[in-house]
Amino acid sequence: MYKDEIFEYIQEEAKRQKEGIELIASENYVSEDVLKAMGSILTNKYSEGYPHKRYYGGNEYIDKIEEECIKRAKELFGAEHVNVQPYSGSPANLAVHFAFLKPGDRTMGMDLSAGGHLTHGFKVSISGKYFDSVSYGVNKEGYIDYDDVRRIALEHKPKLIWSGFSAYSRIVDWNEFRKIADEVGAILVADISHVAGLIAAGLYPSPVGIADVVTTTTHKTLRGPRGAIIMCKQEYGELIDKAVFPGLQGGPHNHITAGIAVALKEAQSDEFKEYAKQVISNAKTLASSLADKGFSIVSGGTDNHMFLVDTIKSIGKSGKEVSDILESVNITLNKNAIPFDERKPWDPSGVRIGSAAVTTRGMKEKDMFQISEYIYRALYDSSEDNLKRIKDEVKDFSKKFNIPGI
């Protein structure tokens, strides 16, 4: 019988996940039901177009699945119009650009080092190459300074303003962004990719109904597959839909749409609300525990599922050095720029830490204290013997917590 080594690699990856502590803020574990939908025969079907307006036949049940997915998103977030076809967050954000702007039009978003995302106008991204982008940042305390955002907007008059983030641990005041956008006549977009699950649970303010458009990935705190959703006011629905298809993409990935629909139903449950509460509590506990050990936490803490650590200030090691050391003991997180970072993105001054994945495995506050102890011990004594000892402890610790589907 033919044997494909790809399946061996999948098993090895499952072992890695089982024996490690996942602190990457953008990662999570989907349920077995989501996995079933993603691994289904729906991947066989091609479905260019939208429900009841397809360019291919045989889409009766695909239409039902996509319509149900849209319905669930509307119910969960209170959105007027929803598109569930974007392949991921970056195409979703690019579609928003194309819906409202022409090449060379000006956009405004959070600077990458302050916690923004590449697709919010960063110069190496297509969003910063096709469009004229300006950025805003945070103050020395690590918080968004809305007066400064307003000053920059008034000076540059962007046609579109991005709110939302990739590495910002505090509450965003969507209403302040709304006022600024109205003052300069800009379209306001909110990217809630990191906090969509917390918003769904009612634990983080929602920009739906405030922003003109809201984008989100469907993994991260929402615990769905790697896809995206665009929500908008009804008046912009046709613009958004045309920008996604035929403007940017071909046929949707139907197996992913089904997985998103399953995840959205799970997010409506009381169990999910309790999960989201624990995510925030775990993040706060881990940040506080690391701070007690002398680590410098950007902005002093967190209001969501993640936070940044200034590793240069804390222990004199770059984010890359810290990430590499911790990966050697089966703790994964990502190196990350911090506000006012003068180092290069590949070797920045900090790391980003998130609690969504470990919370899915059932870890609680007491486990965050244990994780902070592993981090402290590994970084303050990186000798080969010590790291081997910690790695063995992490393996034994991690095996106590299940991962769906493994």
The string of pLDDT tens digits covering residues 89-106 is 999 999 999 999 999 999
> Which candidate in 107, 215, 217, 257 is catalytic?
217
Say if residue 185 is exposed, middle or buried (CB neighbours under 10 Å; 0-12, 13-18, 19+): exposed
% pLDDT > 70, the chain: 100
- CATH classification of the domain holding 360: 3.90.1150.10
What length is written for the chain? Answer: 406
310 is catalytic: no
Question: In terms of domains, do 166 and 213 share one?
Answer: yes
In a domain, 21, yes or no: no
Out of 232, 251, 266, a domain closes at 266
191 is catalytic: yes
Average pLDDT over residues 123-145: 91
Question: In terms of domains, do 140 and 280 share one?
Answer: no
In a domain, 8, yes or no: no
Question: In terms of domains, do 221 and 364 share one?
Answer: no
Question: In terms of domains, do 212 and 336 share one?
Answer: no
Total tally of structural domains belonging to the chain:
2
Q: Cα separation of 28 and 35, whole Å?
A: 13
First CA to last CA distance, the chain:
25
Residue from 309, 382, 380 nearest 349 by CA: 309
DSSP H helix total and E strand total for the chain: 16, 15
226 is catalytic: yes
> Which candidate in 19, 27, 33, 48 is catalytic?
48
Question: In terms of domains, do 118 and 233 share one?
Answer: yes
For residue 3, the tally of other CB atoms under 10 A from its CB is: 7
Out of 266, 292, 318, a domain closes at 266
Distances (CA, A) of 400 to 20, 62, 199, 244, 363: 11, 39, 30, 43, 10
Question: In terms of domains, do 177 and 257 share one?
Answer: yes
Question: In terms of domains, do 255 and 316 share one?
Answer: no
Question: In terms of domains, do 75 and 106 share one?
Answer: yes
* Assessment of whether the complete model's pTM goes beyond 0.85: yes
In a domain, 333, yes or no: yes
Tens digits of residue pLDDT in 278-321? 999 999 999 999 999 999 999 999 999 999 999 999 999 999 99
124's enclosing H/E stretch is: none
> Which candidate in 72, 170, 178, 220 is catalytic?
220
Structural domain range at position 393? 270-398
> Which candidate in 27, 36, 46, 105 is catalytic?
46
56 is catalytic: no
- CATH classification of the domain holding 91: 3.40.640.10
Question: In terms of domains, do 42 and 183 share one?
Answer: yes
In a domain, 296, yes or no: yes
> Which candidate in 111, 191, 303, 321 is catalytic?
191
Confidence of residue 1 (pLDDT cuts 50, 70, 90): low
Question: In terms of domains, do 279 and 216 share one?
Answer: no
Helix residue ranges per DSSP H, 157-269: 174-184, 196-200, 237-244, 254-266
Question: In terms of domains, do 259 and 279 share one?
Answer: no
Out of 266, 296, 328, a domain closes at 266
Mean pLDDT, the chain, rounded, equals 96
> Which candidate in 18, 36, 150, 226 is catalytic?
226
Tens digits of residue pLDDT in 343-352? 998 999 999 9
Question: In terms of domains, do 175 and 98 share one?
Answer: yes
